[in-house]
């Protein structure tokens, strides 16, 4: 799943360019989530049983699901108002 989101970010970055890419806060959120999710997945696949890494991996997986907020106009507006 992280691989698909990584490909999505790379395609958006190449299509928009750096200035347009960083102008959208959702793109930066996506980068944070993909890097964190990928890092914790590598730790988990490495055989390390670090409970903090496992909890962080769960958090990043929930944040990936949170990306659906940007697809709904009303939820996106609510999120932008809260932040």
Q: What is the pLDDT along the chain (83 residues), one digit of tens a residue?
A: 778 889 999 999 999 999 999 998 889 999 999 999 888 888 888 887 788 888 998 898 888 878 777 777 887 777 777 66
In a domain, 46, yes or no: yes
The model's pTM is 0.75
pLDDT of amino acid 74: 81
In a domain, 25, yes or no: yes
Six-digit token string for 63: 């944040």
In a domain, 55, yes or no: yes
In a domain, 19, yes or no: yes
In a domain, 20, yes or no: yes
In a domain, 45, yes or no: yes
pLDDT of amino acid 83: 62
Would you say 24 and 67 are in contact if contact means Cβ atoms under 8 Å apart? no
Six-digit token string for 34: 């993909």
In a domain, 1, yes or no: no
Domain count, the chain: 1
In a domain, 63, yes or no: yes
Phi-psi label, residue 25: left if phi above 0, alpha if psi -120 to 50, beta otherwise: alpha
Supply the range of the domain harboring residue 44: 7-70
pLDDT of amino acid 10: 95
């Amino acid at each position: 799943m992280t691989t698909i989101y990584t490909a999505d970010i790379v395609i958006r970055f190449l299509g928009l360019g750096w200035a347009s890419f960083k102008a959208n806060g959702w793109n930066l959120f996506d980068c944070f989530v993909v890097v964190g999710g990928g890092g914790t997945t590598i730790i988990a696949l490495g055989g390390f049983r670090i409970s903090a890494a496992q909890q962080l991996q769960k958090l990043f997986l929930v944040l990936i699901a949170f990306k659906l907020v940007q697809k709904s106009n009303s939820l996106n507006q609510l999120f932008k108002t809260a932040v």
